[in-house]
Each structure stands twice: as structure tokens, then as C-alpha cells.
């Protein structure tokens, strides 16, 4: 077990989200990861913590449009010129390349988002070197970021970049060319990850999430979305009702894991959100710490190299408790 952590994330301190036309305090704060890190340092996993490696930003162009990266850089430079407190908000879609008004660009956004991606890429590299399980403490999160758009507090798609890195570094898999599966367990559908791989058959995307009738984002994550072209059948969405507790969630998880086993991937990337924890401010499910241990046990039973990439979850205590339980389940 290895855990990758980068203190650079603390530089990302968005102040404001514009929610339903009103400014509110932004929930993606450094305490999300710092609380996890502090608990892990006091746990049996303390010796597993390590720093990330550094990667050239040009690697981001394997997943994201060059014009989009230039957009993030240009808006960040504008904010740097305005002062340390400045935040840029999207106004018009698609010109402003944002799905919402909750994902402001700050002076250091591109740099810090790339550092988060580096945490995930480091985890992928460790899997390629034979590590069986890696937990990448990524912040900002990534699964809402598409090829050319940000949203849902996400700027670069950490899980997608890691999956692509695994494919590029992997050799021939016993059942054919290298393949990856992504299991998205955030309460919000990973619209960005789905769109990136929607027409590909080398990445299976499986997601358990809140039904878009009530959960963000409202335009994607429906069960009938199954992929297109060569990717037909390689997207598997299970939208779940508000108030979902373990019994219903476990049944959906087992269906997803069965689908993953049939895909026979060389590696599994888990986009792990803890906003499924009961009481999360942006949640709606009723999972508890022990349930994340059960998730880890079920994932471990696949006997695949696993990269866990942190996504959402906005209650620090839940993030910490869920992380510890998940790691215990994965380790056995």
C-alpha cells in the first residue's frame, strides 16, 4: 500500500461559489485533505505516505484540449494581475468553458490542478512498477472536468489522466491489449470522465451516483448512456435514489464489479468520493464508515492493481473515517 500526498493543494483556497445566483462560501477547502493526511499520519498507514513525482504539463494534452489549458492559464494570469484575492467566474457557455459558476479560476489554479494530477499520475506509475494498491490524495478533484471544460470544482481530470498513463505504460495484457476500468463512487456522476472515454473500448467506465433528477449534474449519468461507436457498452451508469443506504448501494456495487470482472482490465482506477457519507452537505446517500470498509473488501476481491483517486466529500471527519475504513478493506 502506498499513499501519495502533495502539500501544494493548500494553495487552492477558492472563496466563493455562486449557487442559484447567490454567492456562498466555497466548500472545497484544504481541510478536506489535511484532515485525511493528519489521520493517516497517526495510523498504521503512516509509513505508506510519500510525495508525488513531477510531470511535464504537456502530458495533460493527452486528455485535455490545448486551447482549454491555455484558457486556464490566461484566466489565472488575469487574476494574478488583479491581486491575490481575485477569482474569475464563467459567464457564457461554451465560450467560458465551465459547466457552472461554482468553479472559479484563481491565479494558481492551473499549477495546483496539475500538481493534483501529478498525485494521480504518480499513483499510476507505482501500479506500473508493481504496487498493488495506491491511494492518491488529489485536490482539487477531477471527474467533472471534460476535455475542454471545467465544472463541479474540477479543472483537470485526475482519474482520466491516470487511466491513460496506465494504458500507455502497460504492455500486452493476457486477454489482449491493455485495458483499464474506472469505478466512480462519488455521489455525483463523473460527466467529464464518461465523456473522455465514451467512444473508447479500452476503458470501461462504471458509475454509481445520485439520479440526475436530484443530483448534480442534471444533464448526464442516465442509465441509457452506454457509450458510442467502439465504446458502445463500455459505459455503465447506475443512478440511485436519494436516501440510498448500504443494502441498495451494495447491490449496485456488486453489479458494477461483475461488469468490471468481465472487462478483464489490467488495472482498476477508483474515483472515490466520500460525499456518499450520511450528512455530507452535498450528499443524499446514507453510507457510514463501515460501508467504505465493505467497499474496499469487494474491490480487493477482484484481485486487480487498484489506484484510488480522491474526488468529492465535504465533511472532513467523514473523509478521514471513510479513508481509513476503505484502506483497511483494501488491505485485508
Q: How far is CA 52 from the centre of its chain?
A: 17
Distance CA 225, CA 268 (A): 21
144 tagged catalytic = yes
Catalytic residue from among 143, 144, 209, 288: 144
Q: Which residues are catalytic?
A: 144
Amino acid at each position: 500500500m502506498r499513499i501519495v500526498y502533495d502539500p501544494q493543494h493548500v494553495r487552492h483556497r477558492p472563496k466563493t461559489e455562486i449557487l442559484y445566483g447567490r454567492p456562498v462560501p466555497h466548500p472545497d477547502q484544504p481541510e478536506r485533505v489535511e484532515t485525511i493526511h493528519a489521520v493517516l499520519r497517526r495510523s498504521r498507514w503512516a509509513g505508506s505516505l510519500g510525495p508525488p513525482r513531477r510531470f511535464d504539463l504537456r502530458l495533460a494534452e493527452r486528455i485535455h484540449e490545448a486551447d482549454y489549458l491555455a484558457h486556464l492559464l490566461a484566466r489565472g494570469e488575469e487574476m494574478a494581475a488583479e491581486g491575490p484575492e481575485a477569482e474569475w467566474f464563467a459567464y457564457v457557455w461554451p465560450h467560458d468553458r465551465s459547466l457552472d459558476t461554482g468553479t472559479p479560476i484563481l491565479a494558481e489554479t492551473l499549477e495546483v490542478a496539475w500538481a493534483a494530477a501529478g498525485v494521480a499520475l504518480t499513483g499510476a506509475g507505482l501500479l506500473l512498477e508493481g504496487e498493488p494498491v495506491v491511494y492518491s490524495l488529489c485536490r482539487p478533484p477531477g471527474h467533472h472536468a471534460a476535455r475542454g471544460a471545467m465544472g463541479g470544482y474540477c479543472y483537470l481530470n485526475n482519474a482520466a489522466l491516470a487511466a491513460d498513463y496506465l494504458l500507455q505504460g502497460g504492455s500486452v495484457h493476457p486477454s489482449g491489449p491493455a485495458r483499464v476500468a474506472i469505478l466512480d463512487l462519488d455521489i455525483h456522476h463523473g460527466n467529464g470522465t464518461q465523456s473522455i472515454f465514451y467512444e473508447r473500448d479500452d476503458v470501461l467506465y462504471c458509475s454509481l451516483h445520485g439520479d440526475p433528477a436530484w443530483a448534480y449534474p442534471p444533464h448526464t449519468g442516465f442509465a441509457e448512456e452506454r457509450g458510442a461507436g467502439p465504446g458502445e457498452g463500455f459505459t455503465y451508469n447506475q443512478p440511485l435514489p436519494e436516501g440510498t443506504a448500504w443494502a441498495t448501494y451494495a447491490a449496485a456495487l456488486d453489479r458494477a464489479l461483475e461488469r468490471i470482472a468481465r472487462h478483464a482490465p489490467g488495472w482498476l482506477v477508483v474515483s472515490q468520493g466520500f460525499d456518499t457519507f450520511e450528512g455530507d452537505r452535498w450528499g443524499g446517500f446514507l453510507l457510514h464508515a463501515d460501508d467504505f470498509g465493505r467497499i474496499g473488501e469487494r474491490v480487493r476481491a477482484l484481485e486487480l492493481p487498484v489506484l484510488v483517486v480522491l474526488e468529492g466529500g465535504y465533511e472532513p471527519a467523514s473523509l478521514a473515517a471513510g479513508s481509513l475504513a476503505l484502506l483497511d478493506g483494501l488491505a485485508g
